Chain A
Amino acid sequence: GAGVSQSPSNKVTEKGKDVELRCDPISGHTALYWYRQSLGQGLEFLIYFQGNSAPDKSGLPSDRFSAERTGGSVSTLTIQRTQQEDSAVYLCASSTSGSSYNEQFFGPGTRLTVL
């Protein structure tokens, strides 16, 4: 079956522009996570959705970052007024529920480059 998909796979933008990153989770998965991975760094948690609500936004690095999820499915991560330090691979994962024992399935990521 289809896995987690993300688009675009690569995004190059200029400093100060807004960007939107999309995640299509596995059908039926109620939990959705956004992570980012900067060059040479480990993965950093950003936000968690259970259904359409986000009970934990604690990983978002600033108020320039926001995310939404509609219909319990697709999620969009928006970065406003991008900065060079936002350059990273943004990864989305989904699981059957938010319970911590459930396997998370990751997408291929979106590589964001801010010039």
Chain B
Amino acid sequence: DAKTTQPTSMDCAEGRAANLPCNHSTISGNEYVYWYRQIHSQGPQYIIHGLKNNETNEMASLIITEDRKSSTLILPHATLRDTAVYYCIVRSYGGSQGNLIFGKGTKLSVKP
């Protein structure tokens, strides 16, 4: 699976959009971009995933660049409960294994 690079930490004001970047310059054609987050003292939680088209669900939006070498997770109206470590993970599609390879992630602090 391709390696990802994320900033160590970010701050965001409550109510504002949080934009979390991720670089995955070595991504290959059959690899998806996944985002999970881990709120303090909890297990990780799935947020969203995508291949090349932008995706949106009730939690967030995922914007993937045309060359697929980077992506941005957008929390449109961040709340204090969104304070967590956010992990960007690139995974091969359709493989029979499926374990997640976590990096260090981005610690997002939402401030009042």
**Chain B nearest Cβ from A2, distance in angstroms:** 14
Contact yes or no, B98 A48, CB < 8 A:
yes
Contact yes or no, A102 B104, CB < 8 A:
no
Per-residue CB contact flags for chain B residues 89-102 toward chain A (1 = under 8 Å, else 0) read 00111111111111
Interface segment among A12-20, A64-72, A73-81, A104-112: the answer is A104-112
Q: What's the interface size class on B, roughly?
A: 20 to 34
Q: Which residue of A lies closest to B100 (CB)?
A: A104
Contact yes or no, A56 B97, CB < 8 A:
yes
Interface segment among B20-28, B39-47, B70-78: the answer is B39-47
Q: Name A's B-contacting residues (CB within 8 A).
A: 4, 31, 33, 35, 42-45, 48, 50, 55-56, 59, 91, 93, 95, 97-109
* 24 A-B interface contacts by CB (under 8 A): A4-B43, A31-B98, A42-B104, A42-B105, A43-B100, A44-B102, A45-B101, A48-B98, A48-B99, A93-B44, A98-B97, A98-B98, A99-B95, A100-B95, A100-B96, A100-B98, A101-B91, A101-B94, A104-B46, A104-B100, A106-B42, A106-B44, A106-B45, A109-B43
